[in-house]
Amino acid sequence: MVFSSILFLFRFMPIAFLIYYLSPKKMKNFSLMVLSLIFYAWGEPKYLPIMLFSIVLDYSCGLGMRRFKDNKALRRMFLIFSMTGNLGMLFFFKYTNFFIDNINGLFGLAIPAMSLTLPLGISFYTFQTMSYSIDVYRGKVEAETNIINFGAFVVLFPQLIAGPIVKYSDISNELKNRRMNLCQIEDGIRLFIMGLGSKVLIANNIGALWTEVEGLNVAGISSGLAWLGIIAFSFQIYFDFSGYSLMAIGLGKMLGFEFPQNFNYPYISRSITEFWRRWHMTLSSWFREYLYIPLGGNRVKPLRMYFNLLVVWACTGFWHGASWNFVLWGLFFFVVLVIEKTVLLKYLEKSKCISHIYVIVLLLLSWTLFAITDFSQLGLYFQKMFDFTGGVDWLYYLRNYGVTLILCCIFSTPLLKKLYEKKIQYHPILKTVLLAVVLIFSVAYLVDASYNPFLYFRF
């Protein structure tokens, strides 16, 4: 079940919130956990035991670390149990066939691939539960003694499938004592509707352009169309994922939770370093806190720091998918970030225009690595981007999607947000009309359209 569906909007969400609001305070976490399990099991009930196992494993390991808080060896043993269990499940379901394929290719074997379906959201909730175990081990948070509270944290449906990655420390107080008011609920509704509009009205429409280009014979397209296609993918993945994150944050507010921000207009960045402070911020924060800093961060000698960065970016790429193109995508950013850190940043600060062009070009190259998993097609696509062959095929697609592209450019900057805060935010009637229009058009699109993908489901 996805947020941008008629099923969620007009069946699950109203029933779930009615049950949740009517539940007594002491029962809210229980009702939230049950509703979240139903939400998760709706599409893939066979993977529900994996979710329950993850809850029991990390809850038990947390209690073990609490019980033996003065015994470092036993605390470390429980942490290892938790990490092994979580990473073991992630690697088994997400990477088993990847390693089988590579072993077969490397040694000329014929090991059969396993029939596995990736459990929804496993990359996200695995990181969330691991952060809990690590924080308990470090003494940053107290181990949760109520399994209902802990279960509600793990399966909290707004951020269960695709983030943002919410650490236990982010919402531990709210799990036990949260208050809701009408202003918070109203703000949550606003964020949800704007996220829905971003996903349905912008991402889906511009995504249709990339789908068309992707379906063509790459050898026959012009350079202009190759660039236009990857521009469309760049906008699609941004509005798709940021819209879904915004919906999740809005739903969280309606339930009494404050989730961390996940996107902050990344395409206005003037360096790739800045871009990763604005893009998928909770993932960047997770890798920095739980991998980069424990490796030594930047408090070590330069060569060791570069090694730390290499490990982090290889893992970041591999986290996104069981394919070498994702690893290459991560390593691409490692190289660029090292160059920026050592040489380039001081020059980028001197010219806004050049720095923006630099970032956009590098991001388009990186999204090409990200979007195309077949290396032969990837090489051909890069060739098409840079052979600058003539052709007017791109004009046909520009004519059909030109307005959508212009809207994408505008909405990927904070211009309209500033206009909203200045002219609309404090006018209740105007704000209500605006949100109603976005909601009506979004629902109309969902009723009529069959194209409604969500890119991050495969991660």
**Residue 65: Cβ within 10 Å count:** 24
State residue 427's pLDDT score. 87
Alpha carbon dihedral 80, 85, 90, 96, in 10-degree steps, equals: 100
Residue ranges per structural domain of the chain = 6-178, 184-270+349-458
Place of tokens 């994150």: 245
How big is the chain by its Cα radius of gyration, in Å? 23
Distance spanning both ends of the chain, measured CA to CA: 16
State residue 179's pLDDT score. 84
DSSP state of 450: S
The pTM is what?
A: 0.93
Lowest mean pLDDT, pick from 190-194, 195-199, 329-333, 425-429: 425-429
Largest CA distance in the chain: 71
Q: Is the pLDDT of residue 327 over 60?
A: yes
**pLDDT category of residue 4 using cuts at 50, 70 and 90:** confident
Q: Is the pLDDT of residue 336 over 80?
A: yes
State residue 38's pLDDT score. 93
Options 280, 320, 356, 427, the catalytic residue:
320
> Is 427 assigned a catalytic role?
no
Cis check for the bond before 164: say yes or no (omega within 30 of 0): yes
What number of CA atoms fall less than 13 Å from residue 402's CA on the CB side?
6
d(CA 137, CA 142): 9
Taking a C-beta distance cutoff of 8 angstroms, is the pair 19, 39 a contact? no
Backbone angles phi, psi at 365, to 5 degrees: -65, -40
**pLDDT category of residue 454 using cuts at 50, 70 and 90:** low
Backbone angles phi, psi at 427, to 5 degrees: -120, 95
Q: Is the pLDDT of residue 44 over 80?
A: no
DSSP state of 280: S
d(CA 151, CA 56): 8
> Tokens standing for 130?
């691991």
d(CA 310, CA 192): 37
Alpha carbon dihedral 241, 246, 250, 256, in 10-degree steps, equals: 80
What is the DSSP code string of 365-433?
HHHHHHH---HHHHHHHHHHHHH----SHHHHHHHHHHHHHHHHHHHTSSHHHHHIIIIITT-HHHHHH
- Residue 75: is it exposed, middle or buried by C-beta count within 10 angstroms (0-12/13-18/19+)? buried
Lowest mean pLDDT, pick from 132-141, 284-293, 381-390: 381-390
Alpha-carbon torsion (379, 380, 382, 383), positive or negative: positive
98 Cβ contact list (under 8 Å, min separation 6): 322, 323
